[in-house]
Amino acid sequence: MPSVTDIAASSSFSGLFDDVDFFPDSVLCQALSSKDAFPLDKNHHLPRVNSTVQRLGEQMDKRPSWQQYFMEMAYLAAKRSTCLRRQVGAVLVRDNQILSTGYNGSPKGVRHCAEIGCLRERKGVPSGQQHELCRGVHAEQNALIQAAINGSSTRGGVLYCTHQPCSICARLIINAEIKTVYCAQAYPDELAEQLFEEAGVELIRFDSASGEIERLI
């Protein structure tokens, strides 16, 4: 593809982009190929080209990172949660392609906690303890279940979670051969961290607001 300098030196714009065979539908190619990108007077077209390229560069800078992209989807999934304590969402990805999503809530065909109340609240169970005393299915578990239902392999996948997984989910994640877990918020479960460390699963804290990444394990 010709450079901006090539365009400036050319006496004609006809055919300059005919041989572009990569990203033919990209914003850049469309903008540079459009009649509006260059005035009819070739002596004044270079500032317009530079302005177009600058605007496109600014647009590219505003794109979310892959981590931001998938974590925002996890937070969107969390809005479907019916848990009274904590709304959690998860997105399972491989090669930057979404395999499945999940949020925490009651199993299919079972009444929601919003309808009958929270079992853990009634029994006064603290966060991070006695996970079996809960009617709900965790977001991570639902993401894995959906991948299985749809016949998608989880091997080598990456899981994005709004909250750090508990020890039960950690065991499932390990056996699903997921290699990296991104979480936005902490959850008090030391056993989960120990399991991830021993199994060689990366646990990464991702701050959606700042984009900062901190490797926990």
Residue 84 CA: distances (Å) to CA of 46, 76, 180, 196: 59, 17, 28, 27
Residue 205 CB contacts under 8 Å (≥ 6 apart), including other chains: 164, 182, 183, 184, 186, 213, 214, 215, 216
Q: Is 115 a catalytic residue?
A: no
Q: Of 115, 140, 177, 212, which one is the catalytic site residue?
A: 140
| Residue entry with tokens 């299985």 | 148
- What value does the CA radius of gyration of the chain take, rounded to a whole number of Å? 24
> 107-111, long-range: CB within 8 Å, 24+ apart, which pairs?
107/135, 107/137, 110/135
Half-sphere exposure of 2 (CA within 13 A, CB side): 18
Nearest to 71 by CA among 143, 142, 162: 162
Catalytic annotation, residues:
140
